[in-house]
Each structure stands twice: as structure tokens, then as C-alpha cells.
A and B are shown apart, each in its own frame.
Chain A
Amino acid sequence: DAKTTQPPSMDCAEGRAANLPCNHSTISGNEYVYWYRQIHSQGPQYIIHGLKNNETNEMASLIITEDRKSSTLILPHATLRDTAVYYCIVRVARNFGNEKLTFGTGTRLTIIP
């Protein structure tokens, strides 16, 4: 299973771009990088995912390095509501075809007013 490494915590000023890094140096060629976030006492919220190309949606942008060993989630204009724990997950394929998400400890992002 490819594992991910994220900084335990980060701060970002409100209105600025929040850049959350993730290392996944053992990722396999057919494994996707997923990002979720969990606001306190709620279920995780899907943000974005990608394979090797950069991706953008209404919530964020995902930048994946060419060697796919790391990625960065970018929240372009952070607001106080973006304060949450952000999880970078490499989707694992098991032998019999089912796939699961393995959550690490994530990055606790705090947006500072």
C-alpha cells in the first residue's frame, strides 16, 4: 500500500492561498491521489482527485509532480470555513478488486482571520 506523509499542522491567513503538501513516494502507476477534508465532528468531504495531470474544480486545484511522488492541494482564497483536517489518500487496490481508502493523520489547517 502506498502511504502518504503530510505535515501535522499548518496556518494560513484568510484570503490567501493555502498550499497543502503531500508525499507519496511509493505510489504505483495506477493509483490515484485523493484529497478529503473533515471539519470538526462531521463526515469527510470529497475535494478533488487526480492520477497524473493537474486538476482543478470549484473547490481547489491539485498539482501532481511529474514523477508522481508528491502533490499539493491548493485552496486559492482560504476562508475561515476552510479550517479542517485535510487528508491526502492514495487509493489502494486489493487483490480481489475491492478498493478502500486508508486515512492517515492528515494536516490540520487553521485559517487565521
Chain B
Amino acid sequence: GAVVSQHPSWVICKSGTSVKIECRSLDFQATTMFWYRQFPKQSLMLMATSNEGSKATYEQGVEKDKFLINHASLTLSTLTVTSAHPEDSSFYICSASLGVSETQYFGPGTRLLVL
């Protein structure tokens, strides 16, 4: 149980394009989903927290207009990197939980390379 998937697993795009990453909870309903990113040789950094049906809460320093998060259902959240640039190249990881106080289960991650 508690399986989280992400799609795509990796993506290469040109600078200036937008990229959408999907995060799905496969065997449970996730009222809360989290988005992290991880640069090489660094730890995970939380970008935003989203609750189903409401606006995401972004961490300090994360641009909400650049990283659009939609959590329209209890099993799906999407992260859209708008007008991606090479500095956005990173490993993006989502996690899901039954609620904010529950254990978070992580997806396998999406590696984004912006050329």
C-alpha cells in the first residue's frame, strides 16, 4: 500500500517551454500533497504544500507564478514549471499523505533537464 507514482520520470525541454509533472496516489486518497526539488548533491527542499480543492501554500523563495500547482482530485496533483530555464533543471519529487499530520509517501521523482 501507499504507492505514489510520478509521470514523466524524466523530461528534456527547451528553454522557455512549460513542463507539467503529474503525481498520483495509486492506492489511497491523498488530501495533502507536497512538492520538493533536489539539486545534485543536495538534500530535498520543500517547494509547496497543496490540499485538495484549495490553493497551494508555497515556501519562502518559491515563485508561485512560475511553479503552478493544481490538486484537483484526491489522487492527482500536478506541478507545471512555466517558462523553464536551465537553472530549473532539477529532480522534482512529490509526496502524498492522508492529511497533513499523516506519514508522507514519496513518488519516484522526475528529472527535468532544461536546455
Q: Which residues of A contact B (CB under 8 A)?
A: 34, 36, 38, 41-46, 49, 87, 97-106
A69 to B24, CA, bound (A): 36
Interface 1/0 per residue, B19-53 and A, CB below 8 Å: 00000000000001010100000011110010000
Return B30 CB to nearest CB of chain A, in Å: 14
With contacts A97-B100, A100-B34, A103-B43 taken as known, whether A44 is within 8 angstroms of B49 at the C-beta atoms is: no
Q: Does B101 contact A (CB under 8 A)?
A: yes
A34 to B107, CA, bound (A): 17
Q: Are A100 and B49 in contact (CB under 8 A)?
A: yes
Q: Are B109 and A46 in contact (CB under 8 A)?
A: no
Residues of A contacting B: mostly: loop
Tell me which residues across on chain A come within 8 A of B2, comparing CB atoms. Answer: 46
A36 to B95, CA, bound (A): 12
Q: Are B108 and A43 in contact (CB under 8 A)?
A: yes
Closest chain A residue, CB of each to CB of B48: A100
A42 to B6, CA, bound (A): 11
Tell me which residues across on chain B come within 8 A of A99, comparing CB atoms. Answer: 100-101
Q: Determine which of B46, B95, B109 lies in contact with A42 in the assembled complex, contact meaning CB atoms within 8 Å.
A: B109
Return B18 CB to nearest CB of chain A, in Å: 23
Q: Which of B76-90 contact A (CB under 8 A)?
A: none
Closest chain B residue, CB of each to CB of A102: B46
With contacts A103-B44, A106-B43 taken as known, whether A98 is within 8 angstroms of B108 at the C-beta atoms is: no
Tell me which residues across on chain B come within 8 A of A100, comparing CB atoms. Answer: 34, 46, 49
Q: Are B103 and A46 in contact (CB under 8 A)?
A: yes
